[in-house]
């Protein structure tokens, strides 16, 4: 019995070691093409180049205008750039389509893809796998990816949904985007709601920071100082939730002394419809 168990554990360890090393080899030689150098495509390129899994020299970014490509080159000269989409993808293992949703079909139809060996990932919101199947093919390995712009700071909350992907391919994509923040693999049916919380949600957090800054300026604090104070407070609040795995109400209770200043401010937020406004904004983003 002991011999059988030892053999079993040994086999499992060898298997785990083999999978880990296969993934490392995949990363070592993986070439990535990013179509589109706008806000999201550029952010992904910059974030990926700062990681340790994909070498900057193995990243190619294509864009119709050279201005945005020059900005990427200035950020990291090792990243390859081109104005030719096909040239960008010819040797790519992973193709990331970072163009607007209304432009995605035209871009795909202009490409000659090698779907038997290339992974296609799209950041275009609101386009289901069923439509990609029509444009690319039923057997293609496709990912829908929704990062947010904090990816350039390695702090994105990135959503992943897969179609025809193996567990290894899911692990590859998750590991790449986990280096740029946190990646979460979800069902496609959850993409709309999750996008409202993350990709749209970062704008709502920034809107709170902007409003709090304005309040600070009105109370006599310089704008740059107010920005730093509020941004660090938001960062600290996020860390409390992520590190403690607690509920926001628990953390709020810790700073709301009976009769104190904080509870008065919390009540003013509620009187002003703060919670309802956030919920309505999230729901509006889902439409």
Confidence bin at 254 (pLDDT 50/70/90): very high
Query: CA separation (Å) from 68 to 33, 36, 51, 73, 74?
Result: 15, 9, 21, 9, 10
Q: Is the pLDDT of residue 119 over 90?
A: yes
Q: Is the pLDDT of residue 3 over 80?
A: no
Structure tokens at 243: 């590190």
Do the Cβ atoms of 79 and 61 come closer than 8 Å?
A: yes
Do the Cβ atoms of 136 and 114 come closer than 8 Å?
A: no
Task: Return the pLDDT at 26.
Answer: 56
Q: Do domains 31-188 and 201-286 have the same CATH topology?
A: no
Confidence bin at 157 (pLDDT 50/70/90): very high
Which is higher by pLDDT, 287 or 128?
Answer: 128
Do the Cβ atoms of 171 and 23 come closer than 8 Å?
A: yes
- Strand 80-82 to strand 59-62: parallel, antiparallel, or no bridges (unpaired)? parallel
Strand partners, 162: 143
Domains in the chain: boundaries: 31-188, 201-286
Task: Return the pLDDT at 15.
Answer: 47
Mean pLDDT, the chain, as a whole number?
A: 90
Give the fold, CATH level 3, of 201-286. Answer: ProC C-terminal domain-like fold (1.10.3730)
Q: What is the pLDDT of residues 190-244, one digit of tens each?
A: 999 999 999 899 999 999 999 999 999 999 999 999 999 999 999 999 999 999 9
Task: Return the pLDDT at 6.
Answer: 47
Which is higher by pLDDT, 103 or 23?
Answer: 103
Task: Return the pLDDT at 286.
Answer: 85
Task: Tell me the mean pLDDT in the region 74-88.
Answer: 97
Task: Tell me, yes or no, if the pTM score tops 0.85.
Answer: no
CA distance 59 to 30: 9
Q: In the chain, where does DSSP find H-type helix?
A: 2-29, 39-50, 66-75, 85-89, 104-109, 129-136, 167-178, 191-198, 201-218, 223-244, 248-255, 261-271, 274-286
Q: What percent of the chain has pLDDT over 70?
A: 90
Task: Return the pLDDT at 56.
Answer: 96
Task: Tell me the mean pLDDT in the region 169-175.
Answer: 95
Structure tokens at 101: 């949703």
Confidence bin at 152 (pLDDT 50/70/90): confident
Tell me the backbone φ, ψ of residue 273, rounded to 5 degrees.
Answer: 80, 30
Homologous superfamily (CATH) for 31-188: NAD(P)-binding Rossmann-like Domain (3.40.50.720)
Total number of residues shown for the chain: 287
């Amino acid at each position: 019995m002991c011999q059988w168990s030892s053999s079993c554990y040994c086999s499992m360890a060898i298997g785990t070691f083999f999978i880990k090393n296969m993934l490392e080899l995949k990363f070592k030689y993986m070439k990535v093409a990013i179509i589109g150098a706008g806000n999201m495509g550029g952010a992904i390129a910059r974030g990926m180049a700062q990681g340790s899994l994909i070498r900057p020299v193995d990243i190619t970014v294509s864009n119709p205008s050279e201005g945005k490509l020059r900005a990427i080159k200035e950020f990291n000269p090792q990243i390859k750039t081109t104005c030719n989409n096909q040239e960008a993808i010819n040797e790519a293992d992973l193709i990331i389509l970072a163009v607007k949703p209304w432009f995605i079909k035209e871009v795909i139809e202009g490409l000659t893809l090698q779907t038997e060996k290339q992974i296609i990932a799209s950041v275009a919101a609101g386009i289901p796998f069923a439509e990609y199947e029509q444009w690319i093919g039923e057997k293609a390995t496709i990912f829908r990816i929704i990062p947010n712009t904090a990816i350039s700071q390695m702090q994105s909350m990135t959503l992943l949904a897969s179609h025809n992907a193996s567990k290894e391919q899911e692990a590859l994509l998750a590991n790449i985007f986990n280096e740029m923040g946190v990646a979460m693999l979800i069902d496609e049916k959850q993409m709309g709601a999750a996008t409202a919380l993350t990709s749209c949600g970062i704008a709502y957090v920034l809107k709170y920071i902007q409003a709090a800054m304005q309040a600070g300026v009105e109370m006599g604090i310089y704008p740059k100082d107010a920005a730093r104070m509020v941004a660090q407070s938001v960062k600290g609040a996020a860390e409390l939730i992520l590190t403690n795995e607690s509920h926001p109400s628990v953390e709020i209770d810790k700073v709301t002394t009976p009769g104190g200043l904080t509870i008065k401010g919390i009540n003013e937020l509620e009187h002003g419809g703060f919670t309802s406004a956030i919920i309505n904004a999230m729901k509006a983003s889902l439409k």
